[in-house]
């Protein structure tokens, strides 16, 4: 019994710093599973351990006092973290209407609470929402459709432009609304077909996705993937991007043919496409969900290979362009592409003459969030990014929007870039599609056709 007690004390000493760390960082994206009930359980367990240690007389020795104090830390640290989050949230929600509406149209946010995101939409704090699997878990598709329509109604009542409503519906392993939407195979399954068949099937896939997403109220699909397929086993530590399963082909001509047809089918239904992940993540060996990544390939080689599908599809569509968080070393070794002025303004805007919508990949990804996210937000806006995506953990919106708010108040934001971006968003396809989709959804409660 004495041996077991010693083991128990050792475990308590080892666990206390870990629990304290988790409590202090309760709002970190990596600790999303602990939120709500997990946080309550952590605090309850900490208090129970303190009570047991006191009851067993550990307060009478110096090591015992230290252990008791260690287990008092988690509830206090969690309270501080909670207060810090609430203060940041209050600062964002109480910001003036003028600065809010100037910045809010540049943010697309994922959400779990309808009441919370409705408030953001009504105040003009966001320009769009991102819907995914948890938005339909345990609910009917009609409920989500009605929710999206209600959000659009609130925007109209507030005199604001319709929301961009985005979803990830690529096909294959990334189809976050399938089921209940139709689960289609990845576009990569078409690569082995004859060119005519490739185009016909890809266009059909685009129409299916477009009809179903449009019926739901979604007006922007974060697809297709245009990264070139990497060699097999290229990155054994890629647990989340899984680009080898999502990319269409290794041949840029095949990627361009299939993607162009898919986008054509999607746009026929009134839903916009998003080409991702420029400048191409097929060559990198690091998963930007967690780590920084460098693309060391010369620009001339990229222009002759990886970038051909991007330029081809952009020239034949109204697609948006998603920029990933990899660093294009030959152009800007100091900034990931998603907030590099040399990449976005220099290559995409000036060299390619693309004046459509540019959006970042999710800013909650480790390649950005675990570094100076405030600096990244300001630099992205100043580089000419139009939409900043906060998808995986919508609660981080308050921190990320706060970064933009602070940048604005400190005079760090390029007002000319903001005006140019606002003009692109006004004339760009997402707003036009949002107007059409919100009008259609508001007309009738039509049954969903799967």
Q: What is the DSSP letter of 447?
A: P
Q: Are 27 and 79 in contact (CB under 8 A)?
A: no
Closest CA to 255 of 337, 195, 295: 195
Please work out, in degrees rounded to the nearest 5, the angle formed at the alpha carbon of residue 338 by the alpha carbons of 186 and 31. Answer: 75
DSSP-derived pairing of the beta strands 174-175 and 169-171: antiparallel
- Alpha carbon dihedral 330, 333, 337, 343, in 10-degree steps, equals -50
- Strand locations in 283-381, DSSP E? 293-295, 320-323, 326-328, 358-360
Closest CA to 102 of 337, 444, 437, 419: 419
For residue 431, the tally of other CB atoms under 10 A from its CB is: 22
Return per-residue pLDDT of the chain as tens, 450 residues. Answer: 677 788 888 899 999 999 999 999 998 888 888 888 899 999 999 999 999 999 988 888 898 999 999 999 999 999 999 999 999 999 999 999 999 999 999 999 999 999 999 999 999 999 999 999 999 998 999 999 999 999 999 999 999 999 999 999 999 999 999 999 999 999 999 999 999 999 999 999 999 999 999 999 999 999 999 999 987 655 555 566 688 889 999 999 999 999 999 999 999 999 999 999 999 998 887 777 777 789 999 999 999 999 999 999 999 999 999 999 999 999 999 999 999 999 999 999 999 999 999 999 999 987 787 788 999 999 999 999 999 999 999 999 999 999 999 999 999 999 999 999 999 999 875 444 544 444 444 433 333 333
Please state, in angstroms and rounded to a whole number, the distance separating the CA atoms of residues 356 and 288: 25
State residue 340 phi and psi, 5-degree precision. Answer: -105, 120
Q: Are 338 and 361 in contact (CB under 8 A)?
A: yes
Write down the pTM of the prediction. Answer: 0.90
Question: Which alpha helices (DSSP H) does 25-94 contain, by range?
Answer: 37-55, 62-93
For residue 242, the tally of other CB atoms under 10 A from its CB is: 14
Please state, in angstroms and rounded to a whole number, the distance separating the CA atoms of residues 223 and 107: 18
């Amino acid at each position: 019994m004495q041996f077991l007690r010693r083991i128990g004390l050792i475990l308590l000493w080892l666990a206390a710093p870990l629990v304290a760390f988790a409590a202090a960082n309760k709002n970190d994206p990596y600790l999303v599973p602990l939120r709500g009930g997990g946080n309550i359980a952590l605090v309850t367990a900490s208090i129970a351990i303190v009570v047991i240690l006191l009851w067993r007389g550990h307060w009478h020795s110096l090591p015992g006092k230290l252990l008791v104090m260690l287990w008092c830390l988690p509830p206090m640290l969690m309270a501080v973290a909670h207060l810090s989050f609430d203060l940041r949230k209050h600062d964002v929600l109480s910001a003036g209407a003028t600065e809010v509406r100037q910045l809010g149209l540049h943010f697309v946010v994922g959400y779990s609470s309808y009441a919370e995101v409705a408030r953001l939409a009504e105040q003009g704090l966001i320009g769009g929402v991102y819907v995914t699997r948890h938005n339909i878990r345990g609910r009917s598709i009609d409920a989500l459709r009605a929710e999206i329509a209600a959000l659009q109604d609130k925007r109209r009542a507030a005199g604001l432009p319709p929301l961009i409503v985005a979803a990830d519906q690529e096909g294959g392993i990334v189809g976050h609304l399938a089921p209940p939407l139709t689960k289609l195979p990845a576009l990569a399954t078409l690569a082995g077909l004859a060119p005519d068949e490739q185009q016909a099937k890809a266009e059909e896939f685009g129409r299916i996705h477009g009809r179903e997403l449009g019926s739901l109220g979604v007006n922007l699909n974060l697809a297709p993937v245009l990264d070139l397929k990497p060699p097999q086993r290229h990155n054994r530590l890629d647990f989340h991007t899984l680009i080898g399963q999502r990319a269409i082909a290794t041949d840029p001509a095949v990627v361009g043919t299939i993607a162009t047809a898919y986008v054509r089918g999607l746009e026929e239904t009134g839903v916009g496409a998003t080409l991702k992940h420029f400048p191409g993540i097929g060559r990198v060996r690091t998963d930007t969900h967690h780590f920084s990544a460098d693309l060391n390939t010369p620009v001339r080689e990229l222009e002759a290979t990886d970038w051909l599908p991007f330029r081809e599809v952009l020239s034949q569509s109204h697609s948006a362009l998603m920029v990933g968080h990899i660093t294009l070393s030959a152009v800007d070794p100091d900034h990931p592409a998603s907030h590099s002025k040399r990449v976005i303004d220099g290559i995409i805007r000036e060299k390619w003459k693309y004046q459509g919508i540019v959006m970042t990949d999710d800013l909650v990804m480790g390649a950005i969030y675990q570094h100076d996210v405030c600096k990244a937000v300001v630099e992205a806006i100043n580089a000419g990014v139009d939409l900043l995506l906060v998808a995986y953990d919508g609660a981080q919106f308050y921190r990320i929007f706060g970064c933009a708010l602070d940048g604005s108040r400190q005079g760090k934001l390029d007002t000319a870039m903001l005006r140019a971006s606002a003009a692109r968003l006004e004339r760009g396809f997402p707003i036009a599609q949002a107007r059409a989709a919100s009008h259609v959804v508001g007309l009738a409660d039509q049954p969903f056709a799967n």
